[in-house]
Amino acid sequence: MIPAAGLGTRFLPATKELPKELLPVLDRPVIQWAAEEAVASGADEIVLVLAEGKEALAAHLRPDPALERLLEERGKTAELEAVRRAGNLCRITVARQASPRGLGDAVLCAAGAVGDRTFLCMLPDDLSLAEPPVLRQLWDAHERLGTPILALMRVPSDQISRYGCAEIAESRGKLHRVSGVVEKPPAAEAKSDLAVMGRYVLTPAIFPALRETAPGALGEIQLTDAIGRLLATGEVWGVEFEGELLDVGTPAGWLATNMRLGRGHPEFQSAFASIDAGDA
Ligand code: UTP
């Protein structure tokens, strides 16, 4: 499940008309990076949660026979292959969120499409730079433990107030049993330096938990609150994943990620080399 019905206010004015998930990172939009990670992690279907006006996200991940025909006629083989790849990663299902009532509400909007399945949930604001991908590491942890799994990342203690913070009951190496999650705690009150990142394995029990979760100050339903409710009836574990998540949900993060990936990319590194040499 990819919740992508948010407003993208941190990226205005770029996102006034264009969804942030369609901004390119190198040669492909953010949503394709997310879908490729999901498929590389074993997903065979993606449920996209979309707001009105964001239908192009689903269109990007579905076949485009007219464009394919045109590229074929013109002998643009490499381009045709790239277009076919983007449109045939896996089955795409769309769920709608009527108004931006928060991440928890967005997940709940996909309940019908997900049904009685345990599922991976990912926020496309971060790209996985990891082998195996971060989502796959979470799924592997789920196969060992059988519980919901959170992606955990250690952060400097003065930065924990920007994240959801996990309270830990027990640790087995990089696996941690979570006893609570507090959204953006003041640094002095944080129970750990483990931040909860936007990748999850969730069980269908999350849906009744979300229905019972009252909206917070801005009328938004927090996924974190519903995960807290799951702790009353069963275990939730977190995995301190190997590798990195790269921010593409803010202008500064998006720029830095493009530069970081571009410098190491066979097709684009010469463009960066020319900038570094001062001749651009
Ligand atoms: P964010 O909190 O980053 O919000 O949402 P946003 O709208 O994407 O961006 P900013 O903060 O305004 O710049 C985290 C994830 O939850 C989804 C977003 O699309 C993003 O993937 N989301 C958020 C929804 O699907 N619906 C919502 O009502 C809120």
E strand or H helix that includes residue 102: none
254: CA distance to ligand 1 center in Å?
Answer: 16
For a mutational test of ligand 1's pocket, the pick from 7, 109, 183, i.e. the residue with the most ligand atoms closer than 8 A to its C-beta, is 7
CATH architecture of 2-258: Alpha-Beta Complex (3.90)
- Least confident segment among 123-127, 214-218, 229-233: 214-218
Q: Chain-wide mean pLDDT for the chain? A: 95
* Sign of the CA dihedral with 202 first, then 207, 212, and 218 last: positive
Please say if the pLDDT value at position 170 is more than 60. Answer: yes
For a mutational test of ligand 1's pocket, the pick from 18, 20, 54, 123, i.e. the residue with the most ligand atoms closer than 8 A to its C-beta, is 123
Distance in Å from the first CA to the final CA of the chain = 41
Cβ(164) – ligand 1 distance below 6 Å: no
Among protein residues, the one whose CA lies closest to atom 18 of ligand 1: 6
| Cβ-based neighbour number of residue 27 at 10 Å | 11
* Sign of the CA dihedral with 4 first, then 39, 63, and 14 last: positive
Buried b (16+ CB within 10 A) or exposed e, 61-76: beeeeeebeebeeeee
Cβ(109) – ligand 1 distance below 6 Å: no
- What percent of the chain shows pLDDT beyond 70? 99
Q: Is 110 helix (H, G, I), strand (E, B) or coil?
A: coil
How far apart are alpha carbons 210 and 251 in whole angstroms? 31
Sheet holding 91-96, edge to edge: 2-3, 45-50, 91-96
> pLDDT at position 101, please?
94
- Least confident segment among 57-66, 83-92, 113-122, 216-225: 216-225
8: CA distance to ligand 1 center in Å?
Answer: 6
- The residue among 90, 85, 5, 4 whose CA lies nearest residue 46 is 90
Q: Measured from the CA of 101, which atom of ligand 1 is nearest?
A: 28
> pLDDT at position 95, please?
98
How far apart are alpha carbons 208 and 17 in whole angstroms? 34
Please tell me the pTM assigned to this model.
0.95
9: CA distance to ligand 1 center in Å?
Answer: 9
Cβ(101) – ligand 1 distance below 6 Å: yes
> pLDDT at position 279, please?
62
Q: Is 278 helix (H, G, I), strand (E, B) or coil?
A: coil
Please say if the pLDDT value at position 248 is more than 60. Answer: yes
